[in-house]
Amino acid sequence: MKNFSNRYIFIFSAVMVIFVATLLSLAATLLQPRQQRNLETEKKKSMLEAVGIISTAETAESLYEKYITESYVLDIKGNIVQGVNAFNVVLKDEQKKSPEQQNLPLFEAQLEDGKKIVIIPVEGKGLWGPIYGYVSIKSDMNTIYGVTFDHKGETPGLGAEINTTDFESMFKGLKLFEDNEFVSIRVVKGGSPPYDPHGVDAISGGTITSKGLEAMLKDCLVKYEDYFINNRN
Amino acid sequence: MSNQEKEPIFSAKNLKLLTAPLGKDNPITMQVLGICSALAVTVKLKPALIMALSVIAVIAISNVIISVMRKYIPDRIRIIVQLVVIASLVILVDQILKAYAFEVSKQLSVFVGLIITNCIIMGRLEAFALANKPWPSFIDGLGNGAGYGIILLLVAFFRELLGSGTVYGYPVMEKLGLYSAGYENNGMMILPPMALIVVGLMIWFQRSRDKSLIEKN
């Protein structure tokens, strides 16, 4: 290889950096609207999945319009807050506020058999990054109808298993309350006994993610406690 | 230059570039590179397959880019140039996937970032692409990517089969009726150390089959 002068090296690196920077920022700006749309579709898809409706990227939009009938934002006492769009609430930002000031989004789905299901978004911390999902609850405000979880970067095969159907289906039919007291869901290492209405099996090798999931459910759902109690039927 | 005989696209030499990394010159079992990701993504076959494919793509393309630029890259900053090429390629691929193949990008999640740190890619740029023409570099990239992928898939196959009792998500052990006969999955296979042990066993197996691979000393 030839020996290059310092001047050449400087020019070379400057040109390279400018070229790469232009290329990457151009790609990021041009692709952003599409990425944003994908994220919104993904959100609708997850919500539908939490009530057991499987959709694709193409059908998510129309199915969402069909099944998700209402959405509101609640405060910690369970009262409806006016003027805020529940779909646009960023849970992560809300969680930084004090509990009294948080906007708590809630979505209502009307299924084909007429059943009314409420969907609540949850977000918490896994091992490597955020974990999030939706919990849907039957109109008794106690029984879990379905859940869907996802994660940013949990270890594949270990913590990442939280978004598998095998794991998610264990939540169906679990109870949030015991004798009118909010107890949330336990994620039990080594397996939850089948008679426990509040427990699911933790993931082997994914202990920290499992613990994070348990904390996420408890922290997010307990804020809706007043709403649950007032709206039972 | 014009009277120089043109080399056929798949000459014996080029073919060797493709096949050597699959066996005798395997980046994982022989050069012991890329171990970190071999350990992280081999719990199940599916992520291992996706990782293998992405690495093959990145390694082949970056090999070509560096090879095209090889006469203009100043020696003193070549490592930086290599890093810039790999990193921007990976980011670009990530952005495009997020926009046009959202499902795939969700499955890849952290792997995309992990590709940048894969030492095999930089190793090939440094050892091969800087001194060879684009086409052989491309083949070398494919070969090394595939050599890496094969080991990844083998490790993942054993870990998934013995650790979770499935192969690519298909419940083999359950279908064979082994659970009712008292068989249990080995939870240890899911944990990272077993990946190293499985790779170690492969190295042992390969060397005992081919004595010429053993260093004399």
Residue-wise pLDDT for A149-192, tens only, equals 988 878 767 888 888 888 999 998 899 998 888 888 889 888 88
For every residue of A17-36, DSSP letters joined together read HHHHHHHHHHHHHHHHHHHH
Can you give the pLDDT at residue A15? Answer: 94
Inter-chain CB proximity B190 and A158 less than 8 Å: yes
Cβ of A38 within 8 Å of Cβ of B102? The answer is: yes
Residue A13 lies in a domain: no
| Owning domain of residue A182 | 45-230
Q: pTM of the full predicted structure?
A: 0.71
Closest CA to B40 of B125, B115, B147: B115
Measured between CB atoms, does A4 come within 8 Å of chain B?
Answer: yes
Write down the residue that tokens 């020996």 correspond to.
A3
Is A156–B96 a contact, with Cβ atoms under 8 angstroms apart? no
Distances (CA, A) of A145 to A170, A228, B6: 11, 14, 68
Query: What is the per-residue pLDDT for A9?
Result: 92
Q: Supply the pLDDT for residue B1.
A: 39
How many domains, in total, are found in chain A? Answer: 1
Q: Which helix (H) or strand (E) holds B118?
A: none
How far away is chain B from the Cα of A232, in angstroms, using its nearest Cα? 37
Q: Per mean pLDDT, which range of A97-106, A138-147, A152-161 is the poorest?
A: A152-161
Token pair 């390694």: residue: B59
Q: How far is B23 from chain A (nearest CA, A)?
A: 27
Chain B CB contacts of A13 below 8 Å: 77, 80-81
Which of B40, B98, B110 is nearest residue A38 as measured by Cβ atoms? B98
Write out pLDDT tens, residues B1-31: 344 556 666 777 888 888 888 877 888 887 7
| Stretch 132-171 of chain A: residues touching chain B, C-beta under 8 Å | 150-153, 155-158, 160
Identify which has the larger pLDDT, A87 or B169: A87
pLDDT in tens, B143-201: 999 999 999 999 999 998 988 888 887 888 888 888 888 888 887 887 788 888 999 99
Q: What is the pLDDT of residue B108?
A: 66
- pLDDT of res. B46: 81
Residue B159, number of CB atoms within 10 A of its CB: 25
A17: distance to nearest CA of chain B, Å? 8
Interface contact flag, B74 A4, Cβ < 8 Å: yes
d(CA A153, CA A130): 8
Are A197 and A170 in contact, with CB atoms under 8 Å apart?
A: no
Query: Is B77's CB within 8 Å of A9's CB?
Result: yes
Domain locations along chain B: 44-206
Closest alpha carbon to B163 in B50, B48, B39, B42: B42
Contact B187 A157 (CB under 8 A): no
Here the ipTM equals 0.71
- What residues contact residue A164 under an 8 Å CB cut-off, 6+ apart? none
Residue A120 backbone phi and psi in degrees, to 5: -125, 125
Put simply, the answer to whether B81 touches A20 (Cβ < 8 Å) is no
How many Å lie between the alpha carbon of B114 and the closest alpha carbon of chain A?
Answer: 11
How far is Cα A87 from Cα A85, in angstroms, rounded to an integer? 6
Residue A26 belongs to some domain of the structure: no
Asked if the Cβ–Cβ distance from A31 to B99 is below 8 Å, we say yes
What pLDDT score was predicted for residue B3?
44
Look at A116-125, B103-112, B177-186 and tell me which has the smallest mean pLDDT: B103-112
**A8 in B contact zone (CB under 8 Å):** yes
**Confidence band for B109, pLDDT divided at 50, 70 and 90:** low
The H or E element containing residue B136 is: helix B134-164
Q: Does residue B133 or residue B10 have the better pLDDT? A: B133
A98 touches chain B (CB under 8 A): no
Cβ <8 Å between B92 and A23? yes
Contact B207, B215 (CB under 8 A): no
φ/ψ of A69, rounded to 5, equals: -90, -35
